[in-house]
Chains A and B, each alone.
Chain A
């Protein structure tokens, strides 16, 4: 009997404590409505306090780049908080340099809205939207690269400059409890505004690419946000050199399709590097673009062709192939997409052959 009385008393005490916590949470953590002033008043949002800056902006259709969805692991969601951000948190510290702290850069997924704030974000973020799309096609390009085509559902159209990328959301699946976001360059023309195409390479152990390769089905709905990035053709009439292999083809495919539809018809040579014939793809499409664009030349090159590849085209590292074709390129522009190592190697060859480094534009994978 005494035991039951003690248990009962304990339950009552716990209940009272829970009630006190609920009341305290409601009143102490109630920050009311807070104003977030963006870019000196360009936009002012009225948001309920208590959520992170990242989610508050997202609920108002302002999407800050993030790969981890707010877990403070990717460090991508940086923006400037000039007023109202409070002290830098321990979870932010590893991601912020001394210089970034000096100019009020913060991780928006960690800073909570507790009072009025004044923040600064790049103008391009206002153009980023969240999209829902339906998978229309999944095409095998090589043993480890697929082309994904999505029909846009909401919004029904997208506007972007060729060279941009989107962040595709891989939903929770298998042992992966939360959605993650991964960046992929848009591979389709902006003229096909009701669809997007992405070129996706399988990453061993990758969350998103494993989902695309092993789980994604035609007809399935997926979401993404974008467009992001500032990799684009410069507004000049200089002859162009494109260099990319594998999934790096994506932005150039978009650019070339756009050029075909709109011009200007600039002289362009695209060097596409691969190891063996099985790594090559879109050769027919590039040949068709050569027909449609008289000043476009596609130069595929294999660095280690097998005998059975029966390869008759260029061989060697792509940097050597570029060196052979353009021993002098001081009056040209170069556009590169690939790994930091590949970009650096290309810059070395191009500058050796006279190209000013400021005429080299790139989308480094990292």
Chain B
């Protein structure tokens, strides 16, 4: 099927070397819409929705910010977050105009480790996009759900 211009532009922005070295799709050859639908459904089957997941990631980002690149222990000691940042910005690959700063937040807790960026929070919240399989920054719905329940339990 012929791709419409907007989708072509999105795929181009998601490809390696456009906005990031490895792009956003990894080795996934499914259509973006299918990737989104599958991951959103997987997350919901685990009792979580995209807004909840994004809110938690936002909270973890805020806590990491407070540490000014030092590790911050939070959620009753169950989770440690640490953020680093460099000059520059990251525009949304969907072309919606959102641009985030270039930070990397590492979350560790009870056998769980997750790395995310502010752009990924936007992608999850506003596009239901967790990146394609094989993408080095893909967030698995299962990992997000496990993190949510870990932090939720501590609350």
Contacts and interface: CB of A to CB of B under 8 A. Distances in A.
Contacts of B66: 341, 345
Contacts of B5: 90
A235 B87 CA distance: 26
A77 interface: no
A365 B18 contact: no
Given A183-B88, A365-B87, A207 B21 contact: yes
Interface stretch (B36-44, B52-60, B95-103, B147-155): B95-103
B101 A204 contact: no
Contacts of A176: 16-17, 21
Bin the interface of chain B by size.
35 or more
A71 B13 contact: yes
Kindly list the 10 A-B residue pairs having the minimum CB-CB distance in the complex, ordered from nearest.
A176-B17, A94-B97, A341-B65, A366-B101, A339-B85, A303-B70, A175-B16, A365-B87, A304-B70, A207-B21
Nearest to A320: B68
B99 to A, nearest CB: 6
A317 B67 contact: yes
A363 to B, nearest CB: 8
A341 B18 contact: no
A227 interface: no
Nearest to A279: B69
Interface in A238-262: 245-247
B68 A206 contact: no
16 contacts: A71-B12, A73-B91, A75-B97, A91-B9, A94-B98, A96-B97, A175-B22, A176-B21, A203-B102, A205-B21, A304-B70, A317-B68, A318-B68, A341-B85, A363-B87, A366-B100
Nearest to B96: A94
A105 to B, nearest CB: 13
B105 to A, nearest CB: 11
Contacts of A184: 87
B19 interface: yes
Interface string A183-224: 111000000000000000101111101100000000000000
Contacts of A177: 17
Nearest to B104: A204
Contact of B101 (A93, A165, A319, A365): A365
Interface in B7-48: 9, 12-13, 16-22
Interface string A61-80: 00000011001111100000
Given A71-B13, A94-B97, A342 B68 contact: yes
A185 B101 contact: no
Contacts of A73: 13, 18-19, 91, 93, 95
B101 A339 contact: yes
B6 interface: yes
Nearest to A185: B87
Nearest to B9: A91
A175 B89 contact: no
Nearest to B100: A366
A349 to B, nearest CB: 11
Contacts of A95: 97
B69 A275 contact: yes
Contacts of A209: 86
Contacts of B134: none
Contacts of A71: 12-13, 18
B55 to A, nearest CB: 18
B114 interface: no
Nearest to B136: A205
A214 to B, nearest CB: 10
A75 B91 contact: yes
A185 B17 CA distance: 23
B71 interface: yes
B74 interface: no
A51 B118 CA distance: 35
A172 interface: yes
A175 B21 CA distance: 8
Given A204-B115, A339-B103, A247 B87 contact: yes
B137 interface: yes
A184 B102 CA distance: 13
A187 to B, nearest CB: 12
Nearest to A181: B88
Contacts of B12: 71
Nearest to B95: A94
Contacts of A90: 5-6
Interface string A272-293: 0111000000000000000000
